[in-house]
Amino acid sequence: MPASYAVYLKRALFRLELLKLAVLKAKGDQNLILSLKQHLVHLDATLDLVWEEAREAAEKDEMNGNWRCSTLDRWLSMEFHIQRHNDFDVQVFKDEHPLNEAKLNMDPFGLGELSINLLILLYLLILYEYAY
């Protein structure tokens, strides 16, 4: 797996372990417990797909620093834009604006760059206004 994914995989695996612990220790509200189980199953299935893509790439000798995992890229885009992965929230996001579906297909490693560049531009404009 390329090093560019390392921090994101660590976070996903940490989240997976937290969900496992939460499901094991959960008491009380059955709807909450069901929701935790659904998140656990979804993340586990997503990581299984990531490992399968990585295994296939390694078998084909395609695993290098430029290799991309489409499953993980999509998951990261959803994390950035929606912070949820269930079908309802994804559909609501897509329906909110015609360009939102395209956002989910953006390169996840470029996400946030536009926000940072806009903040820098705004900062420079403010400095310019105060200077003159």
> What are the pLDDT digits (tens) for 18-69?
989 888 888 888 888 888 898 899 999 999 999 999 999 999 999 998 899 9
Domain range enclosing 115:
3-131
Query: What's the helix, strand, coil split of the chain in %, to 5?
Result: 75, 0, 25
CB distance 57 to 63 below 8 Å: yes
What confidence score (pLDDT) does residue 29 get? 81
The sign of the dihedral angle between the CA atoms of 10, 64, 106, 87 is negative
What confidence score (pLDDT) does residue 131 get? 64
Average pLDDT, the chain: 85
How many domains in the chain?
A: 1
Question: What is the Cα 68 distance to its own chain's centre?
Answer: 14
Across the chain, the runs of DSSP E, i.e. the strands, are none
Who contacts 14 (Cβ-Cβ below 8 Å, separation ≥6)?
none
pLDDT higher for 110 or 36?
A: 36
Instruction: Give the C-alpha separation, 75 to 61, whole Å.
Output: 24
Q: Give kind and range of the element (H or E) at residue 131.
A: helix 113-131
